[in-house]
Chains A and B, each alone.
Chain A
Amino acid sequence: MNINELYEKFKEKFEANNGECYRVGRIAEISELLINILSSKNCKNISLYESPLSRTAGLVTELIGAGLEVHTDDLLHNTKTDDVGITEVNWGIAELGTLVQIAPEVDNRLCSTLVPIHVALLKTENLIPDLDSMLDVIDNLPQIPGFVGFITGPSRSSDIERILEIGVHGPKQVIAILVDE
C-alpha cells in the first residue's frame, strides 16, 4: 500500500470507531486547521504536551494568538479542567484505525486520557499497515518503552443494557491530524 492508500484505510477505520480524521500537507498548516476545529467545538482551554511537531508548528504561540488559553505545565492540575489535550503520537495502524503512543511520561498520558477531547498529531509517513508490522516495530526498539498505548477512538462502554455509549472515563472525542511533511 502506498501512503495515500494507507491514509484512506486508516481514516476509514478510525472514523468507523467514532474518531475524526484530518490531513494536512505542511506542518505550517496544522495550527489553522486546529484553531478551526477547536473553535467549532467551542474549546477554550488547552493542555498541550509539547513534541517535535507542536514545536515546529509553533502551536503555543499560534493558539494563544487565536485567543485560546494554553497550558504546557502543571498538567496534573490543568488536564482536570481543560477542554482539550494535544499530544503527538508515534504511529498509526491503518488496518485498525489505531493511534500508537510511546508515553512513559505522565503528562503525555494525562493529555490523552483525562481530557474530554484528545487531539493526536501524527506524521502520515508513520502509518503502519497492520498490527503485526506494528508489533515488529515496537519489538525492534532498543527496549520496549515503559508505556506503549494503543488508542482506537474515544472511550466506550456497553455495560448498561448492552447499548454502546461513547465517552466513559477516557476522552469523549478523539481527533487525529495527520501531517505529510
Chain B
Amino acid sequence: MASELKKEIDSALQNNILRGALERFSQAYPVARDKAYQGLDFEELRNKVQEVKTYAADHIDEMIDQFEKNATARGAKVFRAANAKEANDYVRKLAKEKNVKKVVKSKSMASEEIMLNEALREDGAEVQETDLGEFIIALAGHTPSHMVLPAIHLTKEQVADLFTNYTSEKNDPIIAKLVGTAREVMRQKFIEADLGISGANIAVAETGTLIMLTNEGNGRLTSTIPSTQVFIVGIEKFVPKFKDASYILKTLPRNGTGQNITTYVSMYTGVNEAYLPDGTKGPKDIHIIILDNGRREILQDEKFKQMFNCVRCAACLNVCPAFQLVGGHVYGGHAYTGGIGTLLTAFLTSEDTAQKVQNLCLQCGSCTEVCAGKLDIPGMILELRNRYGEKTGLPFTQKFALDVVANRRLFHSMLRIAAVAQKPLTKGTEYIRHLPLFLSGFTEGRSLPAIAKKPFRDIFPKIKQDVPSPKGTIAIYSGCLLDFVYPKIGESVVAALNEVGYKVVFPENQSCCGAPANYMGDGENYLKSAILNIHGLEAEKVDYVVSACPTCTLALKEYKQLFNDNPEMLKKAEELDAKVFDFSKLITMLGGLEKKGDDTPLKVTYHDSCHLRRKLGVYREPRKLLSDLPGVNFIEMDESNRCCGFAGSYSIKFPEISGPILERKLKNIFKTEADVVAVDCPGCLMQIAGGLEHRNSNIKVKHTAELLFDRRNV
C-alpha cells in the first residue's frame, strides 16, 4: 500500500476541524435520518428503487433511445458521449458557436468527473460554481471532502478569509453574513451568464424528463436565466416511468440530509422559455449530454452492475466509520469519495487511486444498511481487492503470512512455538502490552492477548461430555482465535450444546477459515482454506456445525460461491452452508437454555459484531440469552452495532484509524457503567478487551458463550 495514502490519512487525522465536523455529523445524521423516515417503510422503498433502477440498467439501450426520442420531440437536443473527451468537445464547440463568455454551473458530479470546467477555461470562458460549498472550495483551491457537503472541512473563519480575499471587502466569520456575501456575488454571475450547466438526479425514459433536487436555488437560477442550457447525465440515472421517480424522491433527500424533501425539485421536459440574447422571449436552447465514460463497463460486469442502482445520496459516506475519521480528501479522487466513491473512482476516473483507497474499507457493512439502492458496497470493494490482488500480487510479508496460515501444520506449529516464545513480552500476564519495532502498531492503544498455553484442539479430547441419550451430533469449528487464544470459549460452547442434548465432535482436519486471505485480496489461499475445511469438517456426518466466531461462520457459509463450476464441491459447500450456525443462533434454535445460576447483580452490555448483525442477521438471540440470566441487568450501549475497529488485519494495516474507532466504542461502553461487555466475536473481544486493558479498566469483556457458562455453571 502506497505510503502517500498513509500520509494523507495522517494529515486528515491531524486536522481537528475536519475531525470535529465529521464526528458531530456522524452523531447527528442517524437521528435526522430516522426522523425523516418516520411512517415510511425504508426496506420497501429501497426494494422499489432497486427494482426500477435494475430494470433501467437491464434495458439501457431502450432507456436511452426512448429518452432521446421523447426529449427530442419536445425540442431538446440530445448527444450521446462515449467518453469525457466527446462530452467536453461537444460543450466546447457549443460554447464557441454561441460565443459564450460566462458560464454558471450548479452541482454536477459528472462534470467534475470529466473535468469540464478545466476544458472550458482553456478556451477562455469564465466558469462559476454556484453551489455555496463548491464555490468555497473553488476559492480555497481544494477538492470536495464530501459528496453532499463539499466544504465540511473548513470553518467559518476560513470561509470569511476566503471571501475577504475574493471580494476585497472585510467578511466577518458570521455564517448568515457569509451566506449573504455568496448570494450577492452569485446573483451577478447568474444575471450575466450566457450558458448554464447542471447535472440531473433522475432521467425519465418514457417522458424525456430530467429531475433535479437542490436546496440553495442555484439549480433553478442556472436553468432559468441563461439562454442556453447543458445538462450532463450519466447513463445510470434512468428510470423507466415518470411515477418511478417517486421512490428516489422519497429516499434521496431523507438519506442525503435527513430532509423529507429538498427545497426544490425541478422537472425539465424538453425546452422551456428563456430571455434570448436580443432581449425577446423565446425557446431556450437545451442540450442534454448522455454520458457513458466507462459506465457500460460497469454494466457488463455481473459483480458490479448493481452500482447502477446508486442514487448518489452519500448515506454510505455518512455512516462509514473510516470516512467519519478521515473525510473525503483521503479518497484521492476529484469527484467521488467514500465507499461508493471508491467503486466509481475504479471505473470512471482512476484505477490507481481506487487500488489504494479500497484498503480503507473495514468491511463492517454499515453502508449496506442505509443504502437507498441496496448496493453491497463492501462486497464489491472486496471483489476489487481480490482482482487487484490477483493482478499485482500482495506485498511479500502479507503473502507470506497468508501462505503460512493456509498451511495448517506449519501455522499450528508456529503458534505452538509462539506460545512459548512470547514469555518475555507478557511479563507473566495474559496480555502483551508493547511489541517492539515495526510491530508496535499492533499494540498502539490496546494490548494484545497472549497465545494460550494449550490450544483448544488439545483441550477438547479431555472435555467430559455427559449426554446420556444424545439428540444428535454437532461438529465444532473453532477458528484460529478461539483455538489458540480463547480456548475457554470453546469449552463453554461445548457445555451449552451438551446441555441442550447434543454431543460435540472436533474434526481434526479443520483449518483457518480463509477470511484473512479473502479480506486481504488473496483469493488463492481463500480457495485453499475452503477446500481444506469442506473436506475437514465433513458436514455430511453431523446434524449441525457450530462456530463461535461470526467471521468464520460467514466464511464457511460463503464457500459455496467459489465452486460454481465444480458440482461435487458445490454440493458439499451447500450442505455446510445449510448446517453451520453461530453459537447464539444455534442454541436459540435448539430451544435455548434453562434459567439458572448465579443471581448476584451484574450489569451487562452488548456489542454487535459487524458480521453477526449485518451479514448473519443475528442480534436478538444473544440479547435474549443474556437478559434471561438471573441477576443480569442488561443495558444497551449507544451505537452498539457500530464497528469496534478490529476488522481483522485492518487494525494492523491502519492502527491510526482502528484506534479512534475503538476509542468511540470504549466511550459508549464507559457510559453504560456495565461490569461486563458481552460479544459474540473473538476478534471484537480481542480488540475491546485490549483497549480496556490498556486503559486499566476493570470492565470485563466476555464471549456470550463464556458469560453464560460462568454464570450458569457455578
Contact = CB atoms under 8 A, between A and B. Distances in A.
Is chain B found bound to chain A in the same assembly?
A: yes
Interface string B252-296: 000001001111111111111111000001001000000000000
Nearest to B224: A109
Interface string A96-118: 10100000111101100110000
B522 interface: no
Contact of B220 (A156, A165, A170): A170
Contacts of A132: 243, 246
Given A143-B74, A169-B190, 4 more contacts: A96-B261, A150-B261, A150-B266, A160-B175
A159 B132 contact: yes
B664 interface: no
Given A76-B275, A144-B242, A153 B269 contact: no
B265 A139 contact: no
B178 interface: yes
B150 interface: yes
B220 A145 contact: no
Contact of B272 (A104, A153, A171): A104
B443 interface: no
A156 B190 CA distance: 18
Contacts of A146: 74, 268-273
Contact of A160 (B132, B220, B263, B275): B132
A136 B136 CA distance: 39
Interface string B98-135: 00000000000000000000000000000000111100
Interface of B: 21, 24-25, 28, 74, 130-133, 136, 149-152, 154-156, 159, 175-176, 178-179, 182-183, 186-187, 190-191, 207, 209, 215-218, 220-221, 224-225, 242-243, 245-246, 249-250, 257, 260-275, 281, 284
Nearest to B279: A76
B145 to A, nearest CB: 11
B220 A167 contact: no
B266 A149 contact: yes
B3 to A, nearest CB: 32
A45 B257 CA distance: 36
Closest 9 CB pairs of A and B: A170-B217, A159-B133, A155-B217, A150-B265, A146-B272, A168-B216, A104-B272, A169-B217, A148-B267
B180 to A, nearest CB: 8
A131 interface: yes
Contacts of B249: 131
Interface residues of A, number: 47
A80 B243 CA distance: 36
Interface of A: 13, 17, 76, 80, 96, 98, 104-107, 109-110, 113-114, 131-132, 135-136, 138-139, 143-163, 165, 167-171
Nearest to B266: A149
Given A109-B220, A150-B264, A170-B221, A160 B245 contact: no
Contacts, number: 166
B191 A80 contact: yes
B187 A135 contact: no
A150 B269 CA distance: 15
Given A144-B267, A154-B263, A168 B133 contact: no
A13 B264 CA distance: 15
A156 B216 contact: yes
25 contacts: A76-B225, A98-B261, A98-B265, A109-B220, A109-B224, A135-B243, A138-B242, A143-B269, A144-B207, A146-B269, A148-B269, A151-B263, A152-B264, A155-B264, A157-B132, A157-B133, A157-B216, A159-B149, A160-B154, A161-B175, A162-B28, A168-B179, A169-B190, A169-B217, A169-B221
Nearest to B76: A146
B274 A106 contact: yes
Nearest to B222: A169
B589 to A, nearest CB: 41
A146 to B, nearest CB: 4
Interface centre among B136, B216, B221 (most CB of A within 10 A): B216
Nearest to B282: A106
B150 A168 contact: no
A159 B150 contact: yes
Contacts of B215: 155-157, 168
A155 B219 CA distance: 11
B266 A114 contact: no
Contacts of A138: 242, 267
Contacts of B207: 143-144
A169 B209 contact: no
Contacts of A159: 131-133, 136, 149-151, 216
A143 to B, nearest CB: 8
A153 B186 CA distance: 20
Nearest to B250: A131
Nearest to A100: B265
A50 to B, nearest CB: 15
Contact of A169 (B133, B216, B270, B284): B216
B626 to A, nearest CB: 38
Given A151-B264, A154-B263, A161-B155, A80 B217 contact: no
Contacts of A96: 260-261
Contact of B21 (A113, A152, A161, A170): A161
Contacts of A143: 74, 207, 269
A160 B263 CA distance: 18
Contacts of A113: 217, 220-221, 224
B689 to A, nearest CB: 35
Nearest to A113: B220
Given A157-B216, A170-B217, A170-B221, A152 B151 contact: no
A167 B216 CA distance: 8
B221 A165 contact: no
A144 B269 contact: yes
Nearest to A16: B260
A89 B74 CA distance: 23
Contact of B224 (A106, A144, A163): A106
A169 B156 CA distance: 19
Contacts of A104: 272-273
Nearest to B22: A162
Interface centre among A114, A148, A153, A157 (most CB of B within 10 A): A157
A168 B217 contact: yes
Interface centre among B215, B217, B281 (most CB of A within 10 A): B217
A11 to B, nearest CB: 15
A160 B156 contact: yes
A161 B186 CA distance: 20
A152 B257 CA distance: 15
A152 B263 contact: yes
B272 A139 contact: no
Given A149-B264, A170-B264, A161 B179 contact: no
Contacts of B190: 114, 169
A171 B217 contact: yes
A170 B216 contact: yes
A170 B19 CA distance: 31
Contacts of A152: 261-264
Contacts of A148: 266-267, 269
A163 B424 CA distance: 54
Contacts of A151: 263-264
Interface centre among B152, B220, B266 (most CB of A within 10 A): B220
A62 B303 CA distance: 66
Contact of A149 (B156, B186, B267, B281): B267
Contacts of A170: 216-218, 220-221, 263-264
Contacts of A110: 224-225
A42 to B, nearest CB: 18
Given A169-B218, A171-B217, A160 B136 contact: yes
Nearest to B150: A159
A154 B265 CA distance: 13
A175 B152 CA distance: 31
B271 A161 contact: no
A163 B175 contact: yes
Nearest to B188: A80
A139 B281 contact: no
